[in-house]
Amino acid sequence: MCSLIDFCDIFTHMVNPFKIIRKDKNSGARIGKLVTSHGEVRTPIFMPVGTQATVKTLSPEELINIGAEIILCNAYHLTLRPGTKIIKEAGGLHEFMHWDAPILTDSGGYQIFSLSDLRKITDEGAEFQSHIDGKRIFLTPEESIRIQNDLGADIIMNLDECIQYPCEHDYAEIAMQRTCRWAERCKSAHANRRQLLFPVIQGGMHKDLRERCANELVKEGFPGYAIGGLSVGEERSLMYEIAQHTLRFIPECRVRYLMGVGDPRDLLECIGLGIDMFDCVMPTRNARNGTVFTRRGKLIVKNAKHIRNYGPIEAECGCYACRNYSLAYIRHLFNTREILGLRLTSIHNLYFLTELIKDARKAISENRFLDFKKAFLEQYVWKLVL
């Protein structure tokens, strides 16, 4: 049984666990602190994705050395394998995966969206086939919350309906209304008050629906809000426009999370709008395919011209890979299919983003974020293959 002090701390964090530390005077960028049951998270922040309770190829100790403060795991995948019962018996997700820092779990809404040929969505929930064995699964908002309560993540997400792009207004409205109703049911089912519950604002690319969805969810008084349904194929400028519009209806004092975004350009643009949290599989997926970030753009490590490049991926980088290995050696690892190559490029990409975010926080604290963003974007050419 928790003490009165413990209870008060939990209640305070549930009401508003987020504190704004500093705002940039010339943009919407801000520095904040998010308090969770497993520690504080400095924002803006990028969350590496550990879908199966692991960030592919990397150990928790390596993630800590990179500077990761919070990671994302996926409730849908962990429900299928090994099952929430196993993880709960192990002491929860933190114990199971040997990670003592904050964890956010995705509800499975995006995975349901990606299984469009295998699922049927009604107001009651989503029925779909497992991508592993074809087993029929029926996921309700209540079951999604029960699963995440059992996993024990610090931040859990409401079940939502993510729609395809483009999507007609009529269906986008149906999905938006369903997402709002599911949010109410998720909140009612939420049993573990040490976990922060965030809803997902949907509405496609329709500004009126984004406004209505945000207003409905804000009425419920959640401790933070996610913007979902972006980075699903729309033009970059449209993503920024819809994100900026949606932010107008989220209280400034609440933490704001843009789901599925991890391109360096997008991170800086959206930090400038006032987004606090990000996640994406792209940095580590690209790394495993041999593509790494540099300040001048992307670099393909397998290119033949790197065969005698005995310098690091990037001379200015302080990551473990760049401090100890040459690009020629990493190219050799990829060409011989050695796992170490995937590990080194994954370390580099996550370190790159972590340092980029850290530099952005410093720039915000000194009221020079726009100059920092401009300088970075002027030299970062994504289409350039070094």
Active site positions, annotated? 106, 279
Contact 24, 31 (CB under 8 A): no
Alpha helices in the chain (DSSP H): 4-15, 60-66, 75-80, 84-89, 93-97, 109-114, 141-151, 169-189, 207-219, 236-247, 264-273, 282-288, 320-324, 327-335, 339-365, 369-379
Q: Which two tokens stand for residue 241?
A: 């426009």
Q: How far is CA 73 from CA 55, 57, 106, in A?
A: 9, 15, 7
Contact 385, 298 (CB under 8 A): yes
CA distance 212 to 379: 39
Q: What is the largest CA-CA distance in the chain?
A: 65
CA distance 246 to 240: 10
53 φψ region: left (φ > 0), alpha (ψ -120 to 50), beta (else): left
Q: Which two tokens stand for residue 141?
A: 């908002």
117 φψ region: left (φ > 0), alpha (ψ -120 to 50), beta (else): alpha
Q: Which residue from 274, 280, 283 is spatially nearest to 246, judged by alpha carbons?
A: 274
CB-based contacts of 29: which residues, under 8 Å, 6+ apart? 23, 44, 271, 272, 273, 274, 360, 364, 369
